[in-house]
């Protein structure tokens, strides 16, 4: 999934959230975890999933992307704002998991 998203966005490194899992492509877990703003951004998406439920998050996210574009997607705007908020990490535990191939 993250590899497909990276190709669509023409990005060499990407993180993609599905439910409570952050999938990485083109970046190691160690590199990702060193970038606290990126981690907070993705944790915000996890919280959005929790708030909206899995049934709503993906359709709403995709609708916003189609309507406003990726950068102006209200869920992305919220996630970018949370990059500066250390409190978003409260009650969050990150557990790196190896890819199964």
Q: Give the pLDDT confidence score for residue 54 in this predicted structure.
A: 87
pLDDT tens string 29-38:
999 999 999 9
pTM of the full structure:
0.86
Whole-number Å distance between alpha carbons of 27 and 73: 24
Whole-number Å distance between alpha carbons of 70 and 27: 21
pLDDT tens string 58-97:
999 999 999 999 999 999 999 999 999 999 999 998 887 7
pLDDT band at 25 (very low <50, low <70, confident <90, very high): confident
Q: DSSP readout, 18-72?
A: ETTEEEEESS-HHHHHH-HHHHHHHHHHHHHHHHH-HHHHHHHHHHHHHHH-TTT
């Amino acid at each position: 999934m993250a590899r497909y998203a990276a190709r669509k966005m023409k990005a060499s490194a990407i993180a993609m959230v599905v439910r409570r899992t952050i999938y990485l492509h083109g970046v190691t877990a160690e590199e990702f975890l060193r970038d606290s703003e990126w981690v907070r951004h993705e944790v915000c998406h996890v919280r959005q999933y929790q708030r909206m439920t899995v049934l709503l998050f993906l359709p709403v996210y995709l609708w916003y992307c189609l309507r406003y574009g990726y950068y102006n997607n209200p869920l992305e705007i919220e996630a970018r704002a949370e990059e500066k908020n250390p409190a978003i990490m409260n009650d969050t535990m990150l557990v790196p998991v190896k890819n199964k191939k």
